[in-house]
Structure 1
Amino acid sequence: MTDITGTRPVSVRSPEVKAKLVRMPGFGVGAKPTIAISLVTGIVFLGAWWFVSKLGLVSHLFLPRPDEVLTQIGVIYRDGYAGASLSEHIIASLFRIVVAAAIAIAVGIPAGLLMGLSRWAKGILDTPIEFYWPLPPLSYLPLMIIWLGIGETSKITLLVLAMFAPICLSAQAGVRSLPLERVNAARSLGANRLQLFLSIVLPSALPEILTGVRIAFGIGWGTLVAAELIASTRGIGFMIMSASQFLATDVVFVGIGIIALCAFAFTATIRILEAVLVPWKGKL
């Protein structure tokens, strides 16, 4: 008999290959902060302003130095301007802009959501909004005076009209940009209309709504000067217009700076709300 010797297969263990994570390249601005760039830009702007005014390239009547504007802030804070203190001017303007924004948000968001959900609402509201939205607020300022007088009502109404349209149209755009796949998925899971609205429609439209609110505040601050032309004795816009009549350019710069700081504070607050309420914005 012949002995048959069996051989076992020899297995060679290959080295383990670890998965290599590949980071996808970003697009656009990305997540890197731009604060340093903004600070450098501001410093360069202030330096150019001081350089031009110091050398007298522009008449001092039209362009005071930055240190003179800072000095004027202290003077207005101490002595007031046009029969009112600086705090009274700021509080009057903040009251008007906050009340107008609250009314525009309370009316504009539901109206915009309704326009995005109902063709009847869109057909009824779209025409008047698109008619007056491109008009500058100064064009219907005389109507506010004729209809509502020269009190606070006409000023706040002018601001509401200026802020309402961007909020309403942004809410409508948020609803219309909603992917149908989300709606159909929620329906397939048995969601009723209320659950569909609260869980799908409203969260999806919220980024557009907050963007519209931020734009509306910018338009509102721009309209504030026009609104405070209506027989005002208080307000930052009134202070600017009153100073311009006497060629007090440094006071005009003070008013512009205060409006810029207030607008920046409102914008920063809305950005914080965006980070809290819609943390997924720009990441999907």
Structure 2
Amino acid sequence: MKNPLRSRSEVILRGTVVCALVIFFVTFFVIPIFMVFGGSFFRWNPLKGQLNFLGLDNWKRVFTSDLFWRSMGNTVFFAAVATVFRVVLGLALASALYSRLIKHKSVYRVLYYLPTITPLVAVAFVWKFIFDPRIGLLDQLLNTNINWLFDSRYAMVAILILTIWKDFGYAVIILLGGMYSLPQDCYEAAEVDGAGAWQRFRRLTLPLLKPTILFIVITSLISYFQTYIPVMVLTQGGPGTQTYLASYLIYEEAFSKYNFGYASALSFVLFIFIALLTGLSFKVSGKSDDT
């Protein structure tokens, strides 16, 4: 027989936890979103105490800004390329670590994952020296004389190299965990039937890992659409506007020009875009699970 006092205390505890979560969510998510949306209708400069109503002027400026559309194009390109390399490299290295040929697997797992947990600002400053055309290690290794960060042909490539190097270890660990959870009897049956390593990978591993790969793709796209630290440290959006990303544009407008109203409109447009992208990704993921 249940103790009524204990049951009542459990109900009170659960109610307290739910209320705390609701308060946390409203305070740190809902209220800031409404503040950003409301601020987008004003000329808003907190340093000057300026808050002048502009109506839809900030929104009109967003959709008529060449720099905004260029930054969105750069962001889509950056996110797509970084995600593809993250998944492909992660899958290749996870498959290598999963095989019986590699020894000391725990050492490799640690080495691959170390860049992921290293602070991005510190990594970006190290890579800034690596890309330096005078003292940089990369030009010396490649025997080239490329000004990586100030040449419009290579600046975005440099940011992608940094991003891919830092992030592929995340995909390695997630995919490796997914591989260890796969049913071994399927592989044993396929091996008995004479299926080679490539056939087992293409017909068993890839289909079974599809939910894990979709999870990595979704989280990667959401993360990369909010990237700005590598741009801030390495190129400051240059040369010209070649490496402007949407998040960096928001950072520049808010914290360099203190134009919080326009930055709010930019950030809300980016928020809607990421929300739509996330919804589409989950829809595709749901359809793949059904099939």
**TM class by smaller structure:** 0.5 to 0.7
- Counterpart of 1:176 in structure 2 is 180
- Counterpart of 1:271 in structure 2 is 282
Q: Secondary structure at the match of 2:117?
A: coil
- Counterpart of 1:245 in structure 2 is 256
Aligned match for 1:254, one of 265, 269, 277: 265
- Counterpart of 2:84 in structure 1 is 102
CA contact (8 A) 1:167 1:213 kept: no
- Counterpart of 1:128 in structure 2 is 111
| Distance 1:109-1:255 versus aligned 2 partners, 3 A rule | farther
Q: How does 1:81-230 map to 2 (within 5 A)?
A: 84-118=66-100, 120=102, 122-123=105-106, 125-148=108-131, 149-150=148-149, 151-189=155-193, 191-222=195-226, 224-229=227-232, 230=235
Distance (whole Å) between structure 2 residues aligned to residue 167 and residue 99 of structure 1? 15
**1:219-271 deviation per Cα after TM superposition (whole angstroms, max 9, x unaligned):** 3233x211221231333133122212121112222332233233334433433
- Counterpart of 2:14 in structure 1 is none
CA contact (8 A) 1:163 1:220 kept: no
Q: Compute the TM-score of the two structures, normalised by the length of structure 1.
A: 0.66
**1:79-138 deviation per Cα after TM superposition (whole angstroms, max 9, x unaligned):** x3xxx4321121122222222222222322222222223461745631321221211322
- Residue 61 (structure 1) aligned with residue 46 (structure 2): yes
Q: Compute the TM-score of the two structures, normalised by the length of structure 2.
A: 0.64
Aligned length: 227
Distance (whole Å) between structure 1 residues aligned to residue 74 and residue 55 of structure 2? 22
Unaligned runs of 5+ in 2: 1-25, 132-147, 150-154
Identity of aligned residues (%): 12
CA contact (8 A) 1:77 1:86 kept: yes
CA contact (8 A) 2:58 2:265 kept: yes
- Counterpart of 1:75 in structure 2 is 61
Alpha-carbon offset, residue 77 of structure 1 = 2.5
Distance (whole Å) between structure 2 residues aligned to residue 252 and residue 125 of structure 1? 42
CA contact (8 A) 1:114 1:172 kept: no
Q: Secondary structure at the match of 1:228?
A: helix
| Distance 1:64-1:268 versus aligned 2 partners, 3 A rule | farther
Distance (whole Å) between structure 1 residues aligned to residue 33 and residue 85 of structure 2? 41
Q: Secondary structure at the match of 2:118?
A: coil
- Residue 236 (structure 1) aligned with residue 246 (structure 2): yes
User: What code does the residue aligned with 1:97 have?
Assistant: A
CA contact (8 A) 1:144 1:157 kept: no
CA contact (8 A) 1:105 1:164 kept: yes
**1:1-30 deviation per Cα after TM superposition (whole angstroms, max 9, x unaligned):** xxxxxxxxxxxxxxxxxxxxxxxxxxxxxx
Distance (whole Å) between structure 2 residues aligned to residue 92 and residue 202 of structure 1? 30
| Distance 1:128-1:47 versus aligned 2 partners, 3 A rule | closer
Superposed CA RMSD in Å reads: 3.5
Q: Which has the larger radius of gyration?
A: 1
Distance (whole Å) between structure 2 residues aligned to residue 249 and residue 186 of structure 1? 60
User: What code does the residue aligned with 1:240 have?
Assistant: I
Distance (whole Å) between structure 1 residues aligned to residue 121 and residue 252 of structure 2? 18
